[in-house]
A and B are shown apart, each in its own frame.
Chain A
Amino acid sequence: MEQLKDILSRRSEIKGWMIQVENIHRRERYFLLDKNEIATDQDREVKQQNIRLRIFVNKKDPARQGEAEKMIKFSLPLEEQVDSAVRSALETDIQKWELPAKLDVMLPKLKTADLKMLENLDKVMQDLTEQIYSVALKKRDVIFNSAELFLSVHDYETHLSNGLTHHSNRTKIFAEAAFSTLLAKRSDEYLEYRWASGLKELSIDELFNEAAERARFTSLVVKKPESGSYFVLVDSAVLDLLMHDYLTQLSGGSKYLKLPFIEVGQELIKGAEGDLINLKLDPYLDYGADTTAISPDGLLQKPMDVVRDNRVLETLSGKQYSDYLNKQPTTVRGNLVMPPGKYSRDQLISLQPKILEVLQFSALFTDPYSGTFSSEIRLGRIFDREKGTVEYIKGGSLSGSIFANFKNVRFSDKLVTRSTFSPGMSASGESASGYFGPEYALLADVSVVG
């Protein structure tokens, strides 16, 4: 690292640089049913180091600069790799911006990693494996098919040309379970998966029991939903995805690039009449997926109210876009926090004569710019208060819009924590989203075709 820093500091063309180092230790197991036993199909261990370098170079035009990103390998000649990055950067052209000055405050000590996983990843893998053996073969009226368990420990270092050096770590868990049921003519299944930042956020028993219970529900499916407009109950996974996606319209990058953007003072949902949305970014919450003291460009991250009572209080800009938009930088990282609503889940269901609860979407596709979303319904149920029935449905598609369907939204009173880590093949690597918010929301006037 010191050699790389030394090379970078000796290059006169380079005006600044950022280095992100990630050391990963991962354990993975894939389980399946084999001759009435839980067999391990694959058992993997991964040791990997990712080093991402971003450099900034001066251009003849003082209002412009060049930039390039490069994955660095310490095992390859460093000088050549830096040369290549400099050559690339010199060819690019971007409006000038300055890295922030070195932070001179004490950074908060945050809880981001599970201590047991840090201590002995193999032991945690073995303990969870034993739990899977036990819960997967529990006697049920559905069949266990398969499971996956991935555990990883990530050590991060950030080094900036302004002198800042920061160390942090994070733990991640991915677990999934699939059960199937035999119907009269054909079988169906339910796959449940969870990401977690640590062991406290994940219960193997709960995950497997829920997957098994919902697999049993698939045997109760009688039809597709009838086409029409529905009040739809969605869970925190959907809220997490939609709200994080919609934040794109509050980012300084969107404003600069002339993409759809919502200004400070404007309503998040025009003409909202239901529960008014409150959003906060909190980078300090214990074991949040996006808990972090600093942003990639070295700015202190602090809790920040973004939307209060449906009114935008603050938009999100790191140092680059703040310089471009001539405003102060803000928090750009952090867990999304939404306060609870007033209703229990049962009350939400009883608010309307007929409610469609979506237990699982096949794949919810969202568009951050139009605010629309759509998906096939993998499994759902319709609560009909007048008939006093609960009918399980599968199939058909749902299409909605944040603008229209959140106007009269109602949130549940129970809060949940969710972590989601999205893998990526790009140089910028994984993205993480933490959600601390209501467990359910009831949306209105959602179009469904059966």
Chain B
Amino acid sequence: MKRAVLSGDFKKLRKELSKILPLLEQDPKWHVSVFAEKRASCVYSADLRKTNVSDNMVMGAVLRVYNGYTLFEEAVDDLSIENFQKSAKELVTRVKNSQSKGQYRPYKTLSWKERLKTKLDPEISSQIPENPGAGTEVHFGISYVQDPAIVTADQRLQKLKDTLVKVQDLALKAGLKKEDITFVVAREGFGFEESIYIDRESNISQAIYRQSFTVVIMSGEHRVFHRVGGLGGREIIDETKDKDLLDCLKDLKGLQNAGRLKPGRYRVVFGPDVTGVLAHEAFGHSQEGDTCARGRSQAWELYKSGEKAGNQHATIINNPAIYRDGTHSFAAWGSYFFDEEGWLAAEHVLIEEGKLEVPMTNFTSALRLGISRTANGKRESFANGVYTRQTNTYFKAGKETLEELLSKIDYGFLAMASAGGMEDPKGMGIQVGIAYLEEVKNGKLTGKIFRGPAGGDIQMTGYTPDVLNSIIGVSKVECETADPDHAAYPFNKAGGCGKYHKELVVAGCGGPYLLLDQVILG
């Protein structure tokens, strides 16, 4: 098995960054650290009229000082030693001139011995050398089978053009005419992300390949899409099968004659994408430590009181350490080895059978709430601040097959296509967007597609604990068969997340199928 390594630039930068720490350590009570990242990504696209390549790169470093009251950061993209020295001086002056308000909460930098007390995934522990110390350079690289970095632009664009042809061919099989397909775009995203975190006790780095493949197909105003993504080798791109495209095209055909949903309460099976949004928006966002520390989440009160917020089916997990997504050989979209504040990735249960557990945290929220840190300190880029953010959030899988879940519906729907969502951490409302629904009658899919009452997306709304109490069935990961699951984790799709109306980050979104009763759809 091969693993991604740091680029030459970042190997050199790592040496320079180590020299910055002493400049920041002007007070022994301060906790200081340095984080640097480079995210190089390229999007290749082909539609019916053109092909395109767009290259993006975000590269910078963040110098950090925590003085017991406030986390101060200086984020720069000039990575010269001269600029680091100047920036460090400015940052120290800013810290010294600051007003200290609120409670003093000191932080002791964790040694490797303390770090290794946590249960770590073998993918992480196997990459840590024996007896690491403050000066040990520890590197984590994503594993891959086919090297994605050696694939040429020509090869990538050719695959995209082939996909366009395939879509047009398959359209006929789906009952569409060629002219019904008014727009198709196929996109491949390839990213190489590397980062370094250094404090007085650790010096860690990671290198990750991120890949996605998206197809959007339109017929007039109607739109369907297919997306696959993960971390690892070129094998990720090969996950898109003809059946996936054909299923999309059948939905597109259905959308041409879609019915309008009569608003009301229904029994519904949520597919993995929609289940993922539900988990993310429910406990999910409410279980983000910074939101709790700001006094903005009801989950913190429910956790302290022990009041249940869901039934026995409501177990939601956040896990940045999924290195085998479902039955795939590659890692889930929202995974990494450590977060952007240097905390090693590990599974964290957010709610177990309806009972809330401690929230996930970033550095400052863990201190403010007086709870353990988790690996959820993420930022949009080095230029943005750290918040508590989700990685891969999903419901724990159950034991039923999809067929068994559908058989429990007399009249209702299957919701496979997600269309965003929104949390309401304090008021406990929830919104889960569904692009369209497929009708279920007497336990069988009818093939009839429904859109929202006005012809657009459907919104599932409700009071979060009510929604989590309405779950009446949970599928296995490998839900097509009654055989025991081989996969340790459910499939997580490639998704994104905004927080407080901005701050976009990647997030894995998925889970098993869920059967819910009396769901409000409108």
Contacts and interface: CB of A to CB of B under 8 A. Distances in A.
A145 B294 CA distance: 5
B94 A35 contact: no
A148 B290 CA distance: 13
Contacts of A76: 9
A425 B55 contact: no
A42 B70 contact: yes
Given A32-B293, A187-B298, A448 B183 contact: no
A67 B460 CA distance: 42
Given A258-B182, A396-B522, A45 B453 contact: no
A88 B69 contact: no
Interface residues of B, number: 96
A189 B423 CA distance: 12
Contact of B461 (A40, A46, A397): A397
B458 interface: yes
Contact of A401 (B98, B422, B455, B502): B455
Contacts of A176: 500-501
Contacts of B364: 41-42
A68 B293 contact: no
B56 A374 contact: no
A84 B502 contact: no
B398 interface: no
A367 B456 contact: yes
A195 to B, nearest CB: 9
Interface in B209-232: 218, 220-223
Contacts of A47: 75-78, 87
Contacts of A448: 263, 522
B427 A218 contact: yes
B452 A372 contact: yes
Contact of B295 (A32, A363, A397): A32
Contact of A370 (B91, B298, B380, B456): B456
Interface string B438-473: 000000000000001111111111110000000000
Given A43-B70, A47-B78, A91-B53, A188 B453 contact: no
Among A68, A89, A193, find the residue whose CB has the most chain B CB atoms closer than 10 A. A68
A91 B188 CA distance: 15
A387 interface: no
A193 B499 CA distance: 12
A397 B422 CA distance: 12
Contact of A449 (B50, B264, B381): B264
A194 to B, nearest CB: 10
A440 interface: no
B172 interface: no
Interface in A400-432: 400-401, 404-405, 423-428
Interface stretch (B119-127, B136-144, B428-436): B428-436
B453 A449 contact: yes
Contact of A43 (B48, B58, B98, B386): B98
Contacts of B56: 71, 425-427
Nearest to B293: A32
Interface in B32-56: 42-43, 47-56
A191 B426 CA distance: 10
A427 B522 CA distance: 36
Interface residues of A, number: 94
B366 interface: no
Interface in A58-79: 67-71, 73, 75-76
Secondary structure call for the A interface: strand
B134 interface: no
A256 B49 contact: yes
B520 to A, nearest CB: 6
B385 A28 contact: yes
A92 B157 contact: yes
B383 interface: yes
B427 A69 contact: no
A24 interface: yes
B33 to A, nearest CB: 14
Contact of A95 (B49, B55, B73): B49
Given A399-B454, A447-B263, A448-B522, A174 B74 contact: no
A423 B433 contact: no
Contacts of B71: 41-43
Contact of B70 (A37, A39, A259, A423): A39
Among A178, A374, A378, A423, find the residue whose CB has the most chain B CB atoms closer than 10 A. A374
Interface string B388-429: 000000000000000000000000000000011110101111
A378 B460 CA distance: 13
Contact of A189 (B218, B385, B426): B426
Contact of A260 (B91, B220, B293, B520): B220
Nearest to B53: A88
Interface string A389-403: 000001111111100
A156 interface: no
Given A47-B77, A369-B221, A395-B461, A376 B431 contact: yes
Contacts of B79: 75
B355 interface: no
Contact of B102 (A37, A399, A405, A426): A37
A156 B428 CA distance: 42
A243 B6 CA distance: 46
A259 B183 contact: yes
A146 interface: yes
B101 A39 contact: yes
A124 interface: no
A40 B454 contact: no
Given A88-B55, A375-B431, A449-B264, 13 more contacts: A32-B293, A32-B295, A47-B76, A47-B77, A48-B76, A89-B53, A94-B52, A178-B296, A372-B456, A372-B457, A374-B452, A397-B461, A449-B522
A-B complex: 4 closest residue pairs judged by Cβ atoms: A372-B456, A449-B522, A34-B102, A39-B102
18 contacts: A28-B385, A30-B385, A35-B102, A37-B101, A39-B103, A41-B364, A42-B72, A45-B94, A91-B153, A180-B296, A188-B426, A259-B218, A362-B424, A363-B420, A365-B420, A423-B380, A425-B381, A448-B263
